[in-house]
Amino acid sequence: MRDKQIIIFEGICGSGKTTTSKQLYEYLKENGIKAKLYGEWENSHPINLAMHSCFTEPEFNKLCEEYPLQTERLKLRAVYEYNYVFVQSYHSEEPDYFNGELYEKLQEKDFCFGVTPVVTSGEFTRVLKNKWKKFADDYAVDSDEAVIFDGSLFQHQIHDLQRLYKMGSDGIIQHINILIEQIAMFKPVIIYLTHSDLEANLRKIAEERGKSYFCSDDRIDYYKKRKQIEYEAMSKLNIKSYVIDNSDYDYDKVFKIIKTIIDI
């Protein structure tokens, strides 16, 4: 295994990417290999902008004027970069840091989960490209550990581009390739977990997680189409990708394959 390696786990919800990414992280630690795992909602995630509100500087200043009692709190969560002000509106350790009307206004301006786009599709790609480049620059200089991402190239990229910008597969693949270019020097790999019966798997995790909407007809149809885009992407992206069938939920078998892929 290389000193610096980026491993990205992908797959439809419930495919096992979170389980296997944690399994790999624990295995590396136990065997004296430095590693960092970034979960999907990790507060310190270097790339993810979900649950971050996006403002121009004049918009942010106006918001502070509207909520003078919250100005200090807003500025503590504000990051000025790429010609915008990003405010982390939700933090798992302080979920009620913002609330009420202010929280609703922050949600409206969420970079990824807003009701409407807060920037153009070109700006969306540019901002995320710069996030990935900054991560790559920092990683090249300051780190000697393997980095494991739980769903950073497909999971939200495809969802956000489809929902906010009605983007087709060609545009989505082009966007993802731009992100990959920023980390290409580290020869990253995608480990893609799949199930032969997607619908049965979604029904299973809907019951396990108490989220009945996971197995609605619309949701199942959406995931079937998204899976097609992900397979098309893997055939066209400039990155090595490995597809592992996890239909029988045999994680020991899956992990043996993962160990050969990354040459442990």
Residue 107 has pLDDT above 80, yes or no: yes
Q: Do 138 and 168 fall into the same domain?
A: yes
Computed over every residue of the chain, the mean pLDDT equals 93
Q: Do 175 and 213 fall into the same domain?
A: yes
CATH of residue 214: 3.40.50.300
Q: Is residue 96 part of a domain?
A: yes
In DSSP terms, 36 is beta-bridged to 147
Q: Do 142 and 236 fall into the same domain?
A: yes
Q: Do 160 and 31 fall into the same domain?
A: yes
Least confident of 101-105, 128-132, 216-220: 216-220
Residues with Cβ < 8 Å from 113, sequence gap 6 or more? 50, 51, 107, 160
Residue 3 has pLDDT above 80, yes or no: no
In DSSP terms, 88 is beta-bridged to 52
pTM for the whole structure: 0.92
pLDDT higher for 232 or 92? Answer: 232
Q: Is residue 179 part of a domain?
A: yes
Cβ pair 202, 152 in contact under 8 A:
no
Q: Is residue 85 part of a domain?
A: yes
Residue 175 has a pLDDT of: 97
pLDDT band of 2, cuts 50, 70, 90 = low
Residue 155 has pLDDT above 90, yes or no: no
Tell me which residue range forms the domain holding 96.
52-108
Q: Do 36 and 57 fall into the same domain?
A: no
C-alpha to C-alpha distance for 213 and 102, rounded to whole angstroms: 28
Cβ pair 245, 196 in contact under 8 A:
yes
Residue 264 has a pLDDT of: 65
Q: Do 23 and 76 fall into the same domain?
A: no
- How much is the average pLDDT of 51-80? 96
pLDDT higher for 27 or 208? Answer: 27
Q: Do 14 and 143 fall into the same domain?
A: yes
- Phi, psi for 107 (deg, rounded to 5): -65, -35
In DSSP terms, 85 is beta-bridged to 55, 80
* Domains in the chain, number: 2
Q: Would you tell me how many other CB atoms lie within 10 Å of the CB of residue 200? A: 11
Residue 142 has a pLDDT of: 78
pLDDT digits (tens, 9 = 90+) for 187-224: 999 999 999 999 888 888 888 888 887 788 888 899 99
Q: Do 229 and 195 fall into the same domain?
A: yes
Q: Is residue 195 part of a domain?
A: yes
Q: Do 155 and 241 fall into the same domain?
A: yes
Answer with the one of 84, 108, 132 that is the final residue of a domain: 108
Q: Is residue 1 part of a domain?
A: no
pLDDT digits (tens, 9 = 90+) for 41-60: 787 889 989 899 999 999 99
C-alpha to C-alpha distance for 23 and 38, rounded to whole angstroms: 13
Cβ pair 216, 199 in contact under 8 A:
no
Q: Do 124 and 248 fall into the same domain?
A: yes
Q: Do 180 and 243 fall into the same domain?
A: yes
Q: Is residue 114 part of a domain?
A: no
Residue 1 has pLDDT above 70, yes or no: no
Q: Do 250 and 177 fall into the same domain?
A: yes
Q: Is residue 115 part of a domain?
A: no
Residue 156 has a pLDDT of: 85
Q: Is residue 113 part of a domain?
A: no
